[in-house]
Structure 1
Amino acid sequence: MQDDTNPATLLGAMRANPPLVQCITNFVAMNIAANVMLAAGASPAMVHAEEEAAEFAAISGALTINIGTLSAGWLAGMLSAAQSAKKAGKPWVLDPVAHYATAFRRQAVAQLLELQPTIIRGNASEIIALAGGASRGQGVDSRDPVELAEDAARQLAQTHGCVVAVTGVTDLVTDGQKTRRIEGGSALMPQVTALGCSLTCLVGAFAATTPDNAFDATVAALAVFAVAGEQAGAAADGPGSFSWRFLDALTALDAETLSAKARILTA
Structure 2
Amino acid sequence: MRRKMRKMVAGNWKMNGLQVSLENIAELATAHDSARVDIMICPPATLLSKACEIARSLKIGAQDCHSAEHGAHTGDISANMIADCGAKAVILGHSERRANHNESDAIVRDKTSAAQSAGLTAVVCIGETLEQREAGETIAVLETQLKASIPDKVDPSRMVVAYEPVWAIGTGKIPTLEQITEAHQFCRRTLLKRFGSAANNVPLLYGGSVKASNAEEIFSLQNVDGALVGGASLAPVDFSPIIHALEATV
Q: Which structure dedicates a bigger proportion of its chain to helix?
A: 1
